[in-house]
Amino acid sequence: MSPLLEVRDIHTFIGQFHILEGVSLSVPQGSITALLGRNGAGKTTTLKSILGLTPPRSGEVWFAGERINGRRSFDIASLGIGFVPEHRAIFRDLSVAENLRIAERRKGDLARKEEFIFHLFPDLKRLINLSGTALSGGQQQMLAVARALVPDNKLLLIDEPSEGLAPVIIEQMMAAIRELAAQSTVLLVEQNFIVASQLAERYVIIDEGHTVQAGAMADLVQDKETIHRYLGAA
Ligand SMILES: Nc1ncnc2c1ncn2[C@@H]1O[C@H](COP(=O)(O)OP(=O)(O)OP(=O)(O)O)[C@@H](O)[C@H]1O
Ligand SMILES: [Mg+2]
């Protein structure tokens, strides 16, 4: 079966800087793929390039059998790609309910998905009328993920969901991601290698803006040299 997402040798510039210099990856349907690499490797830029927020200058991006690079971000997202940006991107001056409502792509999305979202993140139901500023870091991150679940998405791009969270909250977040991956497909940027290795079946490593290695997570876990060389972890 062809992959749900395929990125072929993309090159992306930000201003005059050549940030991505040949990123390729493929994400099979119904799985979690971890996008790994040290700080500044180009992980976030890869997600933004897929979405057309930083459009690649060359190379191709294919999603669900269609070539999507060159289209507008809104049109790309409308094909069914949800994005959870890094640093808990929510509207902090809006309530939990408002944050969820404005994430609708079509009227009625939230009503359809509410039960599933509150099942994954019961805290959000309890906090529904609070403003974003009143939430803890973990609750803000849950809301950021929940917003991407409001519309029907075939693919979720999630950037560093565990960043800065306490271990017990990371556990909750991992359980939620595992459950939502059972009905969607996830490309997960994750600096915490323990988290990534426990969630993902496949991995892609990028370094200095290009793909260096990809394969089964079970193999990477055994490969201490690669982990050390590209991820700086033991
Ligand atoms: N707006 C920008 N202007 C100039 N350079 C940028 C810009 N955004 C990113 N970069 C550079 O592009 C490179 C890749 O950045 P990117 O944010 O994609 O890395 P990352 O792998 O997500 O890193 P991190 O782990 O720190 O989130 C870095 O060297 C960064 O400094
Ligand atoms: Mg990043």
* Residues 41 and 92 placed together within one structural domain of the fold: no
With beta carbons less than 8 A apart as the criterion, state whether 54 and 5 touch.
no
Say how far apart CA 39 and CA 160 lie, in whole Å. Answer: 12
Output the tens digit of pLDDT for each of the chain's 234 residues.
789 999 999 999 999 999 999 999 999 999 999 999 999 999 999 999 999 999 999 999 999 999 999 999 999 999 999 999 998 889 999 999 999 999 999 999 999 999 999 999 999 999 999 999 999 999 999 999 999 999 999 999 999 999 999 999 999 999 999 998 888 999 999 999 999 999 999 999 999 999 999 999 999 999 999 999 999 864
Atom of ligand 1 nearest to the CA of 209: 14
Question: In the β-sheet with 32-36, what is the strand arrangement from edge to edge?
Answer: 81-84, 155-159, 185-189, 32-36, 202-207, 210-216
Please give the distance, rounded to the nearest whole angstrom, from the Cα atom of residue 94 to the centre of ligand 2.
25
Read off the pTM: 0.95
Range of the domain at 172: 1-80+156-234
* Residues 186 and 228 placed together within one structural domain of the fold: yes
* Residues 121 and 195 placed together within one structural domain of the fold: no
* Residues 27 and 10 placed together within one structural domain of the fold: yes
* Residues 170 and 133 placed together within one structural domain of the fold: no
Specify the DSSP class assigned to residue 192: -
List the residue whose alpha carbon is closest to atom 9 of ligand 1: 45
> What's the domain count of the chain?
2
